[in-house]
Amino acid sequence: MSTDSNRGGAGNRKTGKERGGGETGTHTGATGGAAEPLLRVKDLVKYYPTERKGFLGGRRGEIKAVDGVSFDLQRGETLGLVGETGCGKSTIARTLMRLEEPTSGAAYYKGRDLFTLSKASVQALRREIQMVFQDPFASLNPRMEVGQIIAEPWVVHPGIVPKEEQRGRVGALLERVGLPAADAKRYPHEFSGGQRQRIGIARALALQPDLIICDEPVSALDVSVQAQVINLLVELQAELGLSYIFIAHDLAVVRQISDRVAVMHLGRIVEVGGEDEIYARPTHPYTQALLSAAPAPNPVGRKERKRIVLEGELPSPVNPPSGCTFRTRCWKAESICSEDRPQLIDRFDHGHPSACHFAELQTLPAAGTA
C-alpha cells in the first residue's frame, strides 16, 4: 500500500500565488469594477427550529446557525472560513450545496441564484460545485472499490465520460492525487486517513468542477499529512483553475491555503481580509483573541504576543446576545455594543471589513501563527 509520507508537493505554504480578486469579499466596498465573482453570497440566513417548545410550552425557538452572511468568491480564489465549533461554517456549505434550504438570502453562482434553481438544475449544477468532507471514511462507501467510488459521479451524470474510457480516467485521477492507478481495485479500509482524503478529492475532481467546498478536509489528519493534502489542493488549484471555500476551525491551517480569510462568530462573519490583514493586522477583538491563543512560531513572536483569555461561555445560537454577539466575552464592550449590531464594514481607509464598533488595528509579529 502506498504511504502518505512519500506523496505531496513542495513546501506547506501557498507561495507565489497571486492574491485572489476582490479586496474584501463582502459587498461592502468589495469588488468595485472587478469581474463578476464566481460566487456571491448575500445575506444568507439559516435558522433551524429547536426540538422543544420554549418555556411553559411557548413557541418553538430557532437556532440561528447562519445569521446574515455575505461574501464574494473570485475565480481561482480560496476563501478560508474559520471559527469556533457551531458558528455555522458547515451550514453555509450545506445550504450552498442545496443539501438544505436557506431561511432567506441569495447565492449567485456565475450570476444564477442557487436558491431559486429547480431540482433538475441543482442536479446539473452539482457537476460544477463539489464538496470534500472532513471524514473521508464516512463519505466513502466501504463496500465499493475505490475505482467505483470515483466513477460514481459519471453514473449520476451520464455522457460525461464514455464507459470505455472510465477505467483509464479513474487511473489518471488516482495518479493525479498521488495514488497508484492500481489502487482502483482496493477498498477504502485499506487506506490511511490521508490517502482516503486523496480518494475523496479524486472523486470531487471526476466531474471537473469549478468550485470545491472543503469542509474541514484536514482536521482529522496528522499535521504532516495535513500539509501534504493542502499542498495537493494548492497544486490542483494552480493546474485546474479551481476555486475553493476552505473551512477549518484552526487559523493556522486556513492560512496555508487561503487568499482571504473570513472569521466567523455565532452565525456571522466578524472580520474578513487577506493574510496580511487578518494575521498581521487584525482589528476585531475576536480575531485578536483567536490569534493570541495560537502558538507563536519563534521566541520573538512568543514574547511580543499577549495571550487574551476569553472569559465566559460561547453564547447559544438559540438566544444570541443583542447587538454584537461577541459582547458577552469582549473586554472592550460598551453600551452601544448591546444596542447596535456592528456592520461588517471597512473601519479604516485602507483597512479591511470588521464588525466591531471599536475596531482597532493591532500589529502582530510578521511571522504570525504559521
Ligand X SMILES: Nc1ncnc2c1ncn2[C@@H]1O[C@H](COP(=O)(O)OP(=O)(O)OP(=O)(O)O)[C@@H](O)[C@H]1O
357 sits near ligand SF4 (criterion: CB under 6 A):
yes
Are 44 and 81 in contact by the 8 Å Cβ rule? The answer is no
- Nearer to Mg ion by C-beta: 90 or 130? 90
Q: What 8-state DSSP symbol labels residue 1?
A: -
Write down the least CB distance from residue 254 to ligand SF4, Å.
20
Q: Does 65 bind ligand X (CB under 6 A)?
A: yes
CB 330 → ligand SF4: shortest distance, Å? Answer: 3
* C-alpha to C-alpha distance for 186 and 165, rounded to whole angstroms: 20
CA dist 354 and 356 (Å) reads: 6
CB of 356 to ligand SF4, least distance (A): 3
Cell digits for 245? Answer: 471555500
**Interface mask (CB under 6 A) for ligand X, residues 219-258, using x and -?**
------------------------------x---------
Q: Which of 38, 41, 87, 140 contacts ligand X by CB under 6 A?
A: 87
CA 156/CA 158 separation, integer angstroms: 6
What does 368 interact with, of ligand X, ligand SF4, Mg ion, none (CB < 5 to 8 A by kind)? none
Contacts of 214 (CB under 8 A, 6+ apart): 131, 132, 233, 244, 245, 246, 247
- 221 vs 344 by CB, closer to ligand SF4: 344
Phi-psi region of 57 (alpha: psi -120 to 50; beta: other; left: phi over 0): left
Nearer to ligand X, 23 or 216 (CB): 216
Q: Which residue in 97, 187, 358, 365 binds ligand SF4 (CB under 6 A)?
A: 358
Closest-CA residue to 350 (of 281, 286, 287)? 281
Cβ-proximal residues to 158 (8 Å cutoff; 6+ apart), any chain:
none
Give 340's contacts (C-beta < 8 A, 6+ positions apart): 323, 357
203 binds ligand SF4 (CB under 6 A): no
Shortest Cβ 286–ligand SF4 spacing (Å): 6
Q: Residue 48 or 358: which CB sits closer to ligand X? A: 48
Name the binder of 327 from ligand X, ligand SF4, Mg ion, none, CB < 5-8 A by kind: ligand SF4
- Alpha-carbon dihedral angle through residues 24, 28, 29, 31, given to the nearest 10 degrees: 60
| Residue of 330, 346, 352, 353 that binds ligand SF4 (CB under 6 A) | 330
Residues in contact with ligand SF4, counted by CB under 6 A, come to a total of 13
Least distance to ligand SF4, CB of residue 58, Å: 29
Question: What's the closest the beta carbon of residue 87 comes to ligand X, in angstroms?
Answer: 4
Helices (H), 284-334: 285-293, 299-304
- Whole-angstrom Cα distance, residue 109 to residue 140? 27
Residue 265 CB, shortest distance to ligand SF4, in Å, is 9
Which residue lies nearer to Mg ion by CB, 92 or 202?
92
The span from the CA of 20 to the CA of 22, in Å, is 7
Shortest spacing between CB 80 and ligand X, in angstroms:
13
State the Cα–Cα distance between residues 198 and 361, nearest whole angstrom.
39
321 touches ligand X by CB under 6 A: no
Which residue matches cell numbers 434553481?
117
Q: By C-beta, is 87 or 146 nearer to ligand X?
A: 87
One-character DSSP codes across 246-281: EEES-HHHHHTT-SEEEEEETTEEEEEEEHIIIIIS
Using CB under 6 A as the binding rule, the residues of this chain from 272 to 301 that contact ligand SF4 are 284-285
Is 88 a binder of ligand X (CB under 6 A)? yes
What are the DSSP calls for 105-174, one per residue?
A: EEEEETTEEGGG--HHHHHHHTTTEEEE-S-HHHHS-TTS-HHHHHHHHHHHSTTSS-HHHHHHHHHHHH
If one asks whether residue 44 binds ligand X (CB under 6 A), the answer comes out as no
Q: Which of ligand X, ligand SF4, Mg ion, none sits in contact with 65, Cβ below 5 to 8 A by type?
A: ligand X
Q: Which residues bind Mg ion (CB under 5 A)?
A: 89-90
- Give the residues lining the site for ligand X (CB under 6 A): 48, 63, 65, 83, 85-91, 249, 317
Binding site for ligand SF4 (CB under 6 A): 284-285, 324, 326-327, 330, 332-333, 337, 342, 356-358
